[in-house]
Amino acid sequence: AQSVTQLGSHVSVSEGALVLLRCNYSSSVPPYLFWYVQYPNQGLQLLLKYTTGATLVKGINGFEAEFKKSETSFHLTKPSAHMSDAAEYFCAVRPLIKAAGNKLTFGGGTRVLVKP
């Protein structure tokens, strides 16, 4: 079974500072990897994903993430935080092999607070 761990349920950063959100997964084979963002009372929006190829993935809003197979990690970063980055972020994985349902496994989420 797959599992996803996001270190830190809450992260506080200053505007203009680096944003680093950690995600580690447990899987027998490298899965597809995703980061989603959720603004209050809204659905989840895809930030970026890793399927195959280049391990450094760039997403929307200046975010990027790097897949490190040896560390089973997919940490999310943004060089300079903006007030609009305040939201909850979810890391998710799904199997490479498309079983019935193709289910995602989500981490517990990290809520980001941006201080002016």
Partner 1 sequence: SQTIHQWPATLVQPVGSPLSLECTVEGTSNPNLYWYRQAAGRGLQLLFYSVGIGQISSEVPQNLSASRPQDRQFILSSKKLLLSDSGFYLCGMDRPSSEQFFGPGTRLTVL
Contacts of 33 (CB under 8 A, 6+ apart): 23, 25, 49, 50, 65, 67, 74, 91, 92, 93
State how far the alpha carbon of 63 is from the alpha carbons of 58, 85, 101, in Å: 6, 10, 29
Beta carbon nearer to partner 1, 83 or 100: 100
Beta carbon nearer to partner 1, 54 or 100: 100
Minimum distance between the CB of residue 62 and partner 1, rounded to whole angstroms? 19
Given a contact cutoff of 8 angstroms between Cβ atoms, the answer to whether 9 and 71 are in contact is no
Minimum distance between the CB of residue 30 and partner 1, rounded to whole angstroms? 13
Residues that bind partner 1 (CB under 8 A): 32, 34, 36, 41-46, 49, 51, 90, 92, 94, 100-104, 106-109
Beta carbon nearer to partner 1, 41 or 84: 41
The runs of H, that is alpha helices, within the chain are none
Minimum distance between the CB of residue 15 and partner 1, rounded to whole angstroms? 25
